[in-house]
């Protein structure tokens, strides 16, 4: 068993049991909580490497628990919930969730999302150079290369792609991207985002019409893979 500890906050006993079996069989340490309050206390005491959080908790909304945790907990939080409305997904991602899966879920997909979240934290934490296929993004020199050739980007284009790349695998909502790149007051200017994403795809993708790096999450935002 490795040293990676995952905290599961879910009020359904069968889900906790399923996740405990699945995660331990993949060599993760598992801690379980059935309420939001218990989960927050465990995060404070254990500081797990990743949290799996249900939104429908008996004592407090999972959205509020997420906001509470994000005031001081900076590691990955994956939402696992029956709430599949677009508004709930966007709200959770905007409040700092790393990823979002709806129930019922496939165990294999959840494990893949966990691995991706943990891998991204390790890579961005220790290496200023991010690579994805033929792309190389150097965060220290603020340069981007494709097939080892430099790509000329505007400052805004670089800010957008570096933000997505640093959150590789994570869905970033339209509102979050607009706020981070263009500033407060721009969250509704989605046309900016569409234009710049299209420009980036022309420069970075082999086929801009069939992107493999800069992916659209319909109605929600974008994901860099």
pLDDT of residue 95: 84
d(CA 167, CA 183): 18
d(CA 102, CA 166): 24
pLDDT of residue 99: 87
pLDDT of residue 161: 92
pLDDT of residue 18: 95
Report the predicted TM-score, pTM, of the whole model to 2 decimal places: 0.66
Q: Is the pLDDT of residue 33 over 90?
A: yes
Give pLDDT tens digits for 54-85: 999 999 999 999 989 988 888 889 999 998 88
Identify the structural domains of the chain with CATH numbers, from first to last. Answer: 5-123 (3.40.50.2300), 127-224 (1.10.10.10)
Give pLDDT tens digits for 124-153: 555 577 888 888 988 877 889 999 999 998
d(CA 218, CA 171): 11
Residue 8: band (very low, low, confident or very high) from pLDDT cuts 50, 70, 90: very high
Give pLDDT tens digits for 157-198: 888 998 898 888 888 999 888 888 887 677 677 887 889 999
Cα end-to-end span (Å), the chain: 28
pLDDT of residue 122: 56
């Amino acid at each position: 068993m490795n040293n990676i500890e995952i905290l599961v906050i879910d009020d359904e006993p069968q889900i906790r049991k399923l996740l405990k079996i699945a995660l331990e069989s993949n060599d993760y340490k598992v801690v379980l909580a059935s309420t939001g309050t218990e989960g927050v206390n465990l995060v404070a005491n254990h500081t797990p490497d990743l949290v799996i959080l249900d939104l429908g908790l008996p004592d407090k909304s999972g959205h509020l628990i997420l906001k509470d945790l994000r005031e001081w907990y900076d590691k990955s939080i994956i939402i696992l919930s029956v709430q599949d409305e677009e508004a709930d997904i966007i709200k959770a991602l905007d409040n700092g969730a790393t990823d979002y899966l709806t129930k019922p879920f496939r165990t294999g997909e959840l494990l893949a999302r966990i691995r991706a979240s943990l891998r991204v934290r390790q890579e961005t934490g220790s290496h200023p150079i991010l690579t994805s296929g033929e792309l190389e993004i150097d965060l220290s020199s603020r340069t981007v290369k494709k097939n080892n050739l430099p790509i000329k980007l505007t400052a805004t284009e670089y800010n957008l792609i570096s933000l997505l790349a640093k959150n590789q695998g994570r869905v970033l909502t339209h509102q979050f991207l607009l706020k981070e790149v263009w500033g407060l007051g721009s969250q509704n200017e989605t046309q900016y985002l569409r234009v710049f994403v299209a420009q980036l795809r022309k420069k970075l993708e082999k086929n801009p019409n069939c992107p493999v790096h800069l992916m659209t999450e319909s109605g929600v935002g974008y994901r860099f893979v």
